[in-house]
Amino acid sequence: MSDGAVQPGRIDSRPVYSGRIVTLSIDTVRFPNGQVGELEFIRHSGAAAVLPVLSDPAGPDPQVLLIRQYRYASGGYMLEVPAGRPDHEGEDWEVCARRELEEETGLVAGKLRYLTTIFTTPGFTDEQIRLFLATDLTAGSTRFDQDEFIEPVTLPLSEALEKVRTGEIQDGKTIATLLYAAGFVMG
């Protein structure tokens, strides 16, 4: 930059751990004020999440399908939208969303609408989740991963939103998907 301003960003990266889902490193970073420090950083492939709408999304209180899934990190079961990571680097996000929807719910989307992309926790990870809305659903078949324990839960959108309000739904991607769909797409 010609005005002498400091360009923030990574200076160096020291790998600590590389696993099936995440990679952890200690990154040396230049901050906007010019100081340098170290940050723990988790790299993640990202994911696609889908809200299946079982009835007319323009209707007065559309039926949606969520999944009740065991999550070790949360200490129990959570109510969520179906979601998952790409099968391979460069996989199209819509392809990923369609696959995860069918694998986790047994539903195939006739129409899939992209909503938005969220950063899950930008303080320490680059994970982004692409949010979608699925309609015109037909029957497919489920295929659970070894660590997936899932049961479908059908409810009116108003009830799902009430569960967000009361804190019964705590999963961030699910809250964002439901609120985005309710606020900008459905009804």
Question: Which of 56, 47, 111 is closest to 81 using CA atoms?
Answer: 47
Question: Which of 56, 61, 52 is closest to 137 using CA atoms?
Answer: 52
Question: Which of 134, 112, 108, 130 is closest to 176 using CA atoms?
Answer: 130
CB 63 within 8 A of CB 154: yes
DSSP conformational letter for 184: H
The 10 Å Cβ neighbour count of residue 67 is: 21
Whether 148 is catalytic is yes
Catalytic entry in 148, 151, 159, 162? 148
Q: Is the dihedral of CA 145, 173, 22, 44 positive or negative?
A: positive
Which residues belong to the active site?
Answer: 148
